[in-house]
Every structure is written in C-alpha cells, then in structure tokens.
Amino acid sequence: MNAPAETLLHTPLHALHRALGARMVPFAGYDMPVQYTDGIIAEHVHTRAQAGLFDVSHMGQAALTGAGAAQALEALVPAEITTLGVGRMRYTMFTNARGGILDDLMVTNGGDRLLLVVNAARKAEDIAHLRGSLSGKCDVDLVSDRALLALQGPAAAAALARLVPGVDRLAFMSAARFGGLWVSRSGYTGEDGFEISVPAADAERLARRLLDQPEVRPVGLGARDSLRLEAGLCLYGHDIDETTTPVEAGLAWTIGKRRREAGGFPGAEITQRQMRDGPQRRRVGIKPDGRAPAREHSEITDANGSRIGVVTSGGYGPTVGGPVAMGYVASAYAAPGTAVNLLVRGKPLAAQIVQLPFAPHRYRKDQT
C-alpha cells in the first residue's frame, strides 16, 4: 500500500521535478514523477532515439566493506562475487531457502568496497537481510547522502561525455570514479546507458546540466516501465518475487558455472534441480493479436479455456506499436509461436508466445 501523501519521502530532485511540470505519484514510499509535460509515449520514443534522464534516487545504495565482503555476499546470491574484477559489475538476486527471489540487485567491485543498488520497495528488508546474515563478516552501510541518476539512450554517452570527459570509454557492465561521481554503464531500458551516483547536494545541478544537453529530456516512471517491458526485463514485485526462482524467471544466465555446480547459496538445490530437469513454469513474452493490452493478473488460457498461467506485466509498447506482455505459463506452452488466450475483462483475446525481448537490446558491448 502506498504511503499517505504527507508521509511520502522526497528525492534530492523533487523540486526540479515540480519545476519541470511533472505529474507526481506515490511509488515505494516516495513522491515520484510518472511523466512530464510531453507525456509517456513521447518520453519513451525520445529515450529510444536520443537520451532520457531518470531520477532513480529512491533505489537503495549500499556499501559492503571488509576483507571478507565478497565471500560473505556470495553466500547470499547465486552470482560469482569473489571473481568479480575491480571496476566490474554484475546483476544477481538474493534468494531464499525455497529458491525464491527476495530482490534483484546490481553489485559493483569498487576496489575497497562492494557497491550494491537494490530496489526501492525492498531496501529496508535488504539492508536488514544483509546485516543479519553478514554480521561479523563485513560492514554493511546504507548510503543515504547520495542521489542516483540514470541516463539512457543511444545519445547518452555523447551527452554525458561533455560533462564527464572519458566516460564514453567506460565498458559495458563496468564502473569508475570520475571526481565525486561514481558512474556505471548498464541500463534498464535495453539501450546504452549510465547510472550516476552523485552527492545529494550536487544532484540538481548535475541534472540541470544534463538537461541542458540537446539530446536529453526528463523521463518519468511511466516510460521507464514501458521501456523495460519492451526490453523484456523483470520488475521486482511483478515478474519476480519470493515465489519465483531464477530458472523460472529466465535468469539462469546470471548463475556462473562454478555456482551451478557447487551451489552454496540459498535454495541452490532447487535451482540445480530445475536447471537439470526444467521448471514447471517459465516466464515468457506474450503478443496479443489485437490492439487491447492485457494488464497484470490477466489469466492466460489454452485453446480449451484451461488456465495455464498469468500475466505479470503488460501494456502498450510504443516501439512495437501495439500491446506487449510478460507472464508465466506452464512449460509445455512456453515455446515461441504457441497460441494462447488472454482473459481481458472476462473475454478471451487471442495471443501468442513470443521470444523476448520485444525491442532489441542495444547495449554498447563493443566498448573497451
């Protein structure tokens, strides 16, 4: 449940959002911009063509310090952390004893510490989980004095490099310090992009300088969601949660060979069994045949009307030019091209299972 308006938290860019004419909504306990004056579709299209600036300061930033930090964290996630090179970053998940996903996160080896970015709605639980599990092994600190901006789109590198020389040479899934900034290169839209951790006191000034670049416009939560859906990327609490496993979610690629074989993380036995025998259900892309979108919780049925799954994310894909959705179906129905029906307002609408992503990823993996 969203917090009452009077108790909502503000990011360091709250005043700027208001000045830019943003429509604000409660999200994960914060007052956040869902869109600006151009609207969600225009913001989505601009990000795909140029560069969109997102305020993601509501997300949790944490630092793990101590000689045993990497080994300690590796016991909580299925990714290989002890082999993560300095300046490199990795996407992973906290898992529970049933193999379910407690949260997904990014981990960066900052040299003298591990830097974590976790989801806004889970950061209190994540910090408690880390402190409870890693006590005596390393120090866990919530970073509360820094904002986090994301610059996404094919023109992001050129725009940011004017303000931060050399940042365009940063490799995909890596990070580096540039003065008081900590910049990583990954992205949540399928486009080339950067995440910029900046002291909170300097955040508005940096955001305004970025918005002064001709390629850059502000983008809110609405387009952030449609962009990540087209990119086939999971949203915690919708496409993944404590009841879904990495294998079911199509995230087995995040588990390194050593962890697949040796385990050593919560729920490893379940994950290993599903990787060996296959899961009973799988996350899939779904393309409705018509123009009506299928929203979250819409039932998925087979040709005989039997329930085979549920939609977890759905909406209009501006790049695709029509409705798109993701959800879970029984594994027997997960092959691309499989015909299914979506129950929208009680009526079965024809759709088919499709390969993800809906829009091709354009990460700059050739950067060195």
Report pLDDT digits (tens) over 114-158.
Answer: 999 999 999 999 999 999 999 999 999 999 999 999 999 999 999
pTM of the predicted model as reported, rounded to 2 decimal places: 0.95
Q: Give me the pLDDT at residue 367, please.
A: 55
* pLDDT reading at 304 higher than 70: yes
Burial-class residue 255 by CB neighbours within 10 Å (0-12, 13-18, 19+). buried
Q: Label residue 368 by pLDDT band (50, 70, 90).
A: very low
Q: Within 10 Å of residue 212's Cβ, how many Cβ atoms?
A: 11
pLDDT for residue 26 is more than 60: yes
**What is the per-residue pLDDT across 205-231, written as a single tens digit (0 to 9) for each?**
999 999 999 999 999 999 999 999 999
2 beta partners: none
What CATH number matches the domain at 5-60+145-230, 3.60.10.10, 3.30.1360.120, 3.90.1200.10, 3.30.230.10?
A: 3.30.1360.120
**CA R_g for the chain:** 20
d(CA 63, CA 118): 11
Give dist(CA 295, CA 238) in Å, integer: 11
Nearest alpha-carbon partner for 207 in 38, 361, 54: 54
Q: Residue ranges per domain, the chain?
A: 5-60+145-230, 280-368
β-pairing verdict for 51-55 and 216-218:
parallel
d(CA 356, CA 311): 15
Predicted confidence (pLDDT) per residue in 252-299, tens digit: 999 999 999 999 999 999 999 999 999 999 999 999 999 999 999 999
Give me the percent of the chain exceeding a pLDDT of 90: 96
User: So what's the pLDDT on residue 187?
Assistant: 86
Q: Virtual CA dihedral for 196, 90, 117, 228, nearest 10 degrees?
A: 80
Residue range 298-320: average pLDDT? 97
Phi, psi of 343 (to 5 degrees): -85, 105
pLDDT number for residue 6: 59
pLDDT score for 67: 94
Above 80 in pLDDT, residue 366?
Answer: no
3-state secondary structure the chain: CCCCHHHCECCCCHHHHHHCCCEEEEECCEEEEEECCCCHHHHHHHHHHCEEEEECCCCEEEEEECCCHHHHHHCCCCCCCCCCCCCEEEEEEEECCCCCEEEEEEEEECCCCEEEEECHHHHHHHHHHHHHHHCCCCEEEEECCEEEEEEECCCHHHHHHHHCCCHHHCCCCEEEEECCEEEECCCCCCECEEEEEEEHHHHHHHHHHHHCCCCEEECCHHHHHHHHHHCCCCCECCCECCCCCCCCCCCHHHCCHHHHHHCCCCCHHHHHHHHHHCCCEEEEEEEECCCCCCCCCCEEECCCCCEEEEEEEEEEECCCCEEEEEEEEEHHHCCCCCEEEEEECCEEEEEEEECCCCCCCECCCCCC
Q: Domain 280-368 - what CATH class? A: mainly beta
Per CATH, 5-60+145-230 and 280-368 having the same topology is answered no
Residue-wise burial string across 332-349, b where 16 or more C-beta atoms lie within 10 A, e elsewhere? ebbeeebebbbbbeeeeb
Contacts of 135 (CB under 8 A, 6+ apart): none
pLDDT on residue 364: 87
Question: What average pLDDT does range 169-178 have in this prediction?
Answer: 98
CA dihedral 337, 343, 349, 350 (to 10 degrees): 10
**Mean pLDDT for the stretch of residues 92-108:** 98
- Distant-in-sequence, close-in-space partners of 93: CB < 8 Å, separation ≥ 6: 77, 78, 79, 101, 102, 103, 104, 105, 240, 246, 251, 254
